[in-house]
Amino acid sequence: MSSVPTGPRPTRRAVLLAVAGLALAGPARAAGSPQLDLVVDTRQLQVGQTISVQLQLTNASFRGQPELPVESGLQARFTGQSTQHIIVNLESTRITAYTYALTALAPGTWKVGPVTVDVGGQTLTAGPVEITVVPRDAAAAKAQDVLATISDPRPFLGEVVVYRFRHQHADRLLDLSWTPPDFDGFIAEKIAEPAQREYQIRQDGTTYGVEEISIPLVASATGRRVIPPAVVTAKVPARSNNRRRNPFMASVDTLTLATQPITVEIRPLPTEGRPADFSGLVGTFRLDAVVHREGSNTPLPPGQPVQVPLGESLTLEVTLAGNGTLAGVRLPDPPEREEYRVYDDTPEIRATVEDGRLSSVATFRRAVVPAREGTMTIDPIEIVVFDPDAERYVRLKTDPIEVQVTPGEAASGEVRRFTDEQQGTPDSRQDVEALAEDILPVPGDARIRDRSLRAALPWAVAMPAVPALGLVALAIDGALRRRRPDPRTRLRRALHDLPTDPGDRLAALEEAFREACAIRLSQPAPGLTREQVATLGDDAARLYDDLVRARYGGFEAGGDLEARIRRFVEAT
């Protein structure tokens, strides 16, 4: 069963609004910052097709028109420029768009750009962008045409593929709706939303409108699968010359088109050579790590010695980027060290679909707190992934980072330790200045007390209220205990109200399992590690591992895994 919602059919207006929403969801830039962007409608053309390319200059001015360099398989022609002002939160942004007509001349992969302009002594650069040109298909240019493709017809289990639906038309559309197929053997990528866009292509003197929808999917079951046709319904002005039609009523033709089915073979991950610490991630990834000083967002230069005073902390920022799903990913637990302690923050995960490919990035921030002076080494981080391009398991590893911990305030000489006096070191602490009368040294363990009536008055007034306050506190605590829900009852209720969607159901079961482990271990659920769960027994450890595999390899509602989790939670 597909987890991609099929719901009401989106209209063409909804498609356009979704495109606008995706544009607004991009990274915000501060108003006033100059920027140069190269915007291309599509990166695949047929010989003879022409598309529009825009060079967008933001918050800057340029005299004349920038040159758009292209390689020999392409031709670029300047067609005009426009300027618009956008005001958001009382901040104005000025965008000047230079538009070019880009024509495909020969098959191959060709570059557009890079484009470099000088504005006010500052050099801005955009691009380059690669365009793939394929031989012309005589049957491609039709008044109405639909096409469905998938980025990899032979993916591995857990690999992300992108299903791409394309509708091309020469007529003016009055309405457009489509019905996505059932993606048997796949689940929707949870972080990246489907990408939608529309643009125009000109060929043989005719302008064609194109709508594209790209859906990221995670292969969740092995074997041969068939993705059925996707159906699109378009309403266009009628071409009939029937004079009897009502002149006050617009005549509309409804066209229904369907794509060809797609056969997919989902391959299992190889068992040979699979490391015991395999993370479950499938894709081509890159792992990087940089260090920040406390309170700074600027990373320290790599390869240079890192120094930090005792009493301050460092932030280890780890970035995992690639083309696979990163839902639920986390860093391996760090080894225990006497030299420093670590504290992990919640990771930030982003994913987008660009040009028919998934791009995902997870950013982890780990606070490193030195425990003593001297030289310490932050251990490298290792993550094992399966690379479907290389068809093998790959161990990603960051470099160890050497840190020199220098004396901080606690050891600067301004504040001495008690043992310094025993060793004959003079105490450099300043004398305490008396505000009213001198304070004489107090021998032994005696304490200074104010025996005046003024000092005793607060205690004299408060003492009778102590028993009453105690009774009130006990009553409040009892009421809170009675109102506080039993966590075991809450867990059983969660099992009773599981969602029907496979992905959401798996997430709810995993949360219930972790909460049950947290109750048994008397520890908070978010920070539980496999080693901690394993102390509850082999069944708990196997459930932990099976949940990780199910997260990337698919999940069957009501199956053996769900039944085992139910038994574990109900026995808590």
User: What are the pLDDT digits (tens) for 130-174?
Assistant: 988 888 665 554 555 888 999 999 999 999 999 999 888 887 777
Q: Which residue has the higher pLDDT, 243 or 118?
A: 118
What is the predicted pLDDT for the residue at 90?
65
Q: Which CATH class is domain 31-134?
A: mainly beta
Q: Which of 324-338, 425-439, 500-514 shows the lowest mean pLDDT across its residues?
A: 425-439
What is the predicted pLDDT for the residue at 61?
80
Question: In this structure, what token pair is assigned to residue 525?
Answer: 């659920």
pTM higher than 0.85, yes or no? no
What topology is assigned to 287-410 in CATH? Immunoglobulin-like (2.60.40)
End-to-end CA distance of the chain: 32
User: What are the pLDDT digits (tens) for 502-538?
Assistant: 878 888 888 888 889 888 888 777 667 888 888 898 8
User: What are the pLDDT digits (tens) for 4-47?
Assistant: 443 444 444 444 333 333 333 444 444 567 889 998 878 888 77
Quick one: which of 84, 91, 18 has its CA closest to 57? 84
User: What are the pLDDT digits (tens) for 84-138?
Assistant: 877 766 677 888 999 888 888 888 999 998 998 888 788 899 889 998 888 866 5
What is the predicted pLDDT for the residue at 173?
78
Residue carrying structure tokens 């479907």:
388
Query: Which residues belong to CATH 2.60.40.10 in the chain?
Result: 31-134
Quick one: which of 487, 468, 488 has its CA closest to 476? 468
**Is the separation of the CB atoms in 227 and 183 below 8 Å?**
yes
What is the predicted pLDDT for the residue at 524?
76
Phi, psi for residue 71 in degrees, rounded to 5: -80, 175
Summary mean pLDDT of the chain: 77
CATH code at 144-240+250-266 = 2.60.40.740
